[in-house]
Amino acid sequence: MVKEYSILIGGAAGEGTRRAGLVIAKLLQEYGYYIFIYDDYQSLINGGHNFSQIRASEKKILTHNQGVDFLLALNQETIDKHKDKLNKKGVIIYNSDKIKDCEGIGLPVETITKELGGKPIMKNTAFLGALGKTLGIDWETMEKVLREELKRGTELNLKIAHTAYKQTETLVEIEKLPSNEHPLLTGNEAVALGAVQAGLEAYIAYPMTPATSILHYLAAKQKEFNLIVLQDESEISVINSAIGCAFAGKRTMVGTSGGGFALMTEGLSLAAQSETPVVVVESQRTGPATGVPTYSAQADLLFALNSGHGDFVRLVVAPGDTEESFYLTGMALNLAWKYQLPAIVLIDKAISESTFSFDESVVAQIKPEKALLWDKKGEYQRYSETKNGISQLAFPGEPNAVIKGTSYEHDEAGITAEEEADQITRMQDKRMRKYNTLSEELDKLEAVKVYGNEKSNKAIVFWGSTKGAAIEAAEKLNIRAIQPLILQPFPSKQMAKALEGVKTLISAETNVMGQLAKVLNCEGIKVDEQILKYDGRPFSPEEIENKLKSLI
């Protein structure tokens, strides 16, 4: 049986549950476990209900599960909302200063904190001490992790944690596994690092949950990474600034969510017409409009595939975990510059803000790839017609070259071509040749992954953040699981191969319209059944498993 623990810590906004959840994860990581953290919070600074669910396993995991082994309750609301998730032998560790008449381990965390002269938020540290003792984690490990993670008031935090540690009994002797050196990364951190690995030179954004932490992360490291990091006044300004940076020769990426991306779409068309490479990270949240701004959805797929006006070429990739977020973002930046087109990295809150154990072996797979630069032979023509549709790049300041970028249809030199019908057709054909060349290159890459029983005639198809839950459910039921990583250009050949022998195809995604199923239908692939969830929360493996059982 797989060694695994699920821990949930909950309280009001401002009580530090997210930070405490990360420290719990680091403690379990020290014992050799793979980690996944799902953070759930409302759009409130104080009050409401926040919680972090930490899953630790001896095997790599990509999602939370439905049951909880340990429930850490800072308030009564946490117990009321989550007690039904407790497994049969689950334990509640609660704040006995606020909660009475509860079965479990009561600890006066506020009293301990106050008597030792701590700040109210340090009651989380008392909970950490109690949980550590409950799990049988040795004090040396506790102290090591707390010193690394709690840089302010370290000695006082240690005193509070040790007091709670001594007042609690050990219920589980957690087994130490072989050392696990995989660092913990959020999806947004992986996106940022993948872009940097591919040669990112500028990041521009306007803060919008759940993409905001990319901006924060890169701003904090801009000197280390030698980056330009800008916060513009609006998403319209962001996309136009990014196009300007790229036009000047800087590898540029922007980040936003659906509402911000809506404002960027005219700029996206400008990037396509002017053949300016730019990468947009679109981290989806529950809409429409402001919707539920701190919760997740996979509801912008059709929007991303069809954003902007006119016919143009774009690349759309959809990672399902941190390794894919790193790799596909780096790949998107390289391909955007190679083919001089806009690229979209489509993730969502469930990836952006969740924390995963990250396999660093993927880092070596990405490096900056050179763009096609002007060879300085003859007169420079920005949009010269070529067999593969890719023209040579030059940037302002280049001697003996007139550099043009235009939103108008144009000739090879970039001169407006409104009166020349043949020229308009030729330039459209030129850009489409890039699409065909890109499609051929993507055929040589892994654009579709297959998991589970590859010989099963029943399959579940999914994309993005549904990956972890879908794979676990498929493996439990011994069926095939199929994941497209690239959604435009659509990997028709690889998808056909992945579907060979499948008689029953079921899709799973977190939106109300079955958007992946619609895309597959447009490609001539019939989806027999759909499993849809649209309450702002990602799937658990148990939810998909139960739905699959009823369908197959």
Q: For residues 449-478, give the mean pLDDT.
A: 98
475-518 per-position pLDDT tens digit: 999 999 999 999 999 999 999 999 999 999 999 999 999 999 99
SS3 410: strand
268-294 per-position pLDDT tens digit: 999 999 999 999 999 999 999 999 999
Beta-bridge mates of residue 482: 450, 461
- Residues counted in the chain: 552
Per-residue model confidence (pLDDT) at position 531: 98
- CATH topology identical between 184-365 and 450-551: yes
Per-residue model confidence (pLDDT) at position 178: 87
Say which CATH topology domain 4-166 has: Pyruvate-ferredoxin Oxidoreductase; domain 3 (3.40.920)
Q: For residues 431-460, give the mean pLDDT.
A: 96
Q: For residues 241-254, give the mean pLDDT.
A: 98
Per-residue model confidence (pLDDT) at position 419: 84
| Class level of CATH domain 184-365 | alpha beta
Q: How confident is the model at residue 234 (pLDDT cuts 50, 70, 90)?
A: very high
SS3 342: strand
pLDDT at 180 over 90: no
Nearest CA to 63 out of 76, 72, 53 is that of 53
| Cα–Cα distance, 483 to 497 (Å, whole number) | 12
| Cα–Cα distance, 413 to 276 (Å, whole number) | 15
Which range, of 140-144, 174-178, 210-214, 430-434, averages the lowest pLDDT? 174-178
pLDDT at 61 over 90: yes
Q: For residues 449-472, give the mean pLDDT.
A: 98
pLDDT at 2 over 80: no
| Cα–Cα distance, 297 to 40 (Å, whole number) | 13
Q: By percentage, how much of the chain surpasses pLDDT 90? A: 93
Q: Longest C-alpha distance within the chain, in Å? A: 85
358: region left, alpha or beta (phi > 0 left; psi from -120 to 50 alpha): beta
370 CB-near residues (< 8 Å, 6+ apart):
none
pLDDT at 362 over 80: yes
pLDDT at 42 over 80: yes
The token duo for 165 is 């540690």
Q: For residues 31-43, give the mean pLDDT.
A: 94
CB-count burial class (<10 Å; 0-12, 13-18, 19+) for 523: exposed
Q: How confident is the model at residue 175 (pLDDT cuts 50, 70, 90)?
A: very high
Say which CATH topology domain 450-551 has: Rossmann fold (3.40.50)
Q: How confident is the model at residue 15 (pLDDT cuts 50, 70, 90)?
A: confident
pLDDT at 1 over 80: no
Per-residue model confidence (pLDDT) at position 8: 97
Contacts made by residues 523-528, CB under 8 angstroms, sequence distance 24+: 523/490, 523/492, 523/495, 525/495, 525/499, 527/461, 528/504
Q: For residues 189-200, give the mean pLDDT.
A: 98
| Cα–Cα distance, 55 to 314 (Å, whole number) | 37
Per-residue model confidence (pLDDT) at position 440: 95
Domain boundaries, the chain: 4-166, 184-365, 450-551
Within 10 Å of residue 54's Cβ, how many Cβ atoms? Answer: 29
Q: What is the pTM of this model?
A: 0.96
Q: How confident is the model at residue 43 (pLDDT cuts 50, 70, 90)?
A: confident
Q: How confident is the model at residue 112 (pLDDT cuts 50, 70, 90)?
A: very high
| Cα–Cα distance, 495 to 459 (Å, whole number) | 12
CA 548 to chain centre: 25
Per-residue model confidence (pLDDT) at position 313: 87
